[in-house]
């Protein structure tokens, strides 16, 4: 189980690191090389985003990567093949991050079953609310996958509790309202929000949206279990290329 894996990894690290890529950006082959580089640099788990035309939770950096991948013809089937390849090669867990339209169009049960078949451990579906997730939850249970749900600073405590009852693996806490890639203030307000998240669930907490450098990760140590890095990695790729990513990932823990 994903939670058991996270507990074992936590015995050897103050905080775990999850990275995020958009499959097919800059290309399928470069994405494969990017995964290799991240795993070698010591990431603990990784979310693989399926490119989508309307990525409503994403800011300009990740949205641009989505559109670039679609423009070169990356398909859902290629994403499944990609996931199978990396999950079979590397010892860390991989999750899909997908908007629900892609899952719905293929059939939720069929999509989830395929995720299990290619070796994924779970998925994050940011635009699927708990109230509409019954078919998805049943499919995840049947195929022993972890449905990872999201908290935000505006989520009331009673709703956090209900979400936690349905979630598995971990809870993804977005650090602020808005989309990915914007600046986040790592301050007492964030600490208070994370403390509220802790009262709602015993699941591990991951925090993303705005984690950019070592001091951000250091601030989160002891507050959450997993730091999530997404947009900043893509900025590094855009500015310096895939070869620069390994050093960036290592710098988050050094």
Which active-site residues does the annotation give? 47, 58
Q: CA 199, CA 58: separation in Å to the nearest integer?
A: 28
Beta pairing partners, 81: none
Backbone torsions φ then ψ of 148, nearest 5 degrees: -95, 120
Burial of 32 (0-12, 13-18, 19+ CB in 10 A): middle
Cis status of the peptide bond prior to 26, with omega within 30 of 0? yes
CB atoms within 10 A of CB 221: 12
Backbone torsions φ then ψ of 39, nearest 5 degrees: -65, -45
Nearest to 213 by CA among 193, 188, 238, 233: 233
């Amino acid at each position: 189980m994903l939670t058991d894996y996270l507990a074992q990894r936590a015995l050897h690290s103050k905080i775990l690191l999850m990275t995020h890529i958009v499959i097919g950006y800059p290309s399928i082959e470069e994405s494969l090389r990017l995964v290799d580089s991240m795993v070698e640099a010591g990431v603990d788990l990784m979310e693989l985003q399926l490119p989508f035309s309307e990525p409503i939770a994403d800011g300009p950096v990740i949205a641009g990567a989505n559109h670039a991948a679609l423009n070169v013809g990356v398909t859902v089937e290629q994403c499944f093949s990609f996931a199978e390849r990396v999950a079979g090669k590397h010892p860390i867990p991989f999750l899909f991050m997908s908007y629900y339209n892609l899952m719905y169009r293929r059939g939720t049960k069929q999509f989830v079953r395929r995720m299990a078949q290619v070796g994924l451990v779970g998925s994050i579906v940011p635009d699927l609310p708990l109230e509409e997730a019954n078919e998805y939850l049943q499919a995840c249970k049947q195929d022993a996958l972890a449905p990872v749900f999201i908290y935000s600073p505006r989520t009331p405590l009673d709703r956090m509790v209900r979400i936690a009852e349905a979630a598995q693996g971990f809870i993804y806490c977005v650090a602020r309202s808005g989309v990915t890639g914007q600046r986040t203030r790592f301050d007492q307000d964030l600490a208070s929000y994370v403390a509220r998240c802790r009262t709602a669930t015993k699941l591990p907490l991951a925090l993303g949206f705005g984690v950019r450098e070592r001091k951000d990760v250091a601030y989160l140590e002891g507050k959450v279990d997993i730091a999530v890095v997404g947009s900043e990695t893509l900025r590094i790729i855009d500015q310096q290329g895939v070869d620069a990513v390994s050093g960036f990932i290592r710098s988050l823990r050094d």
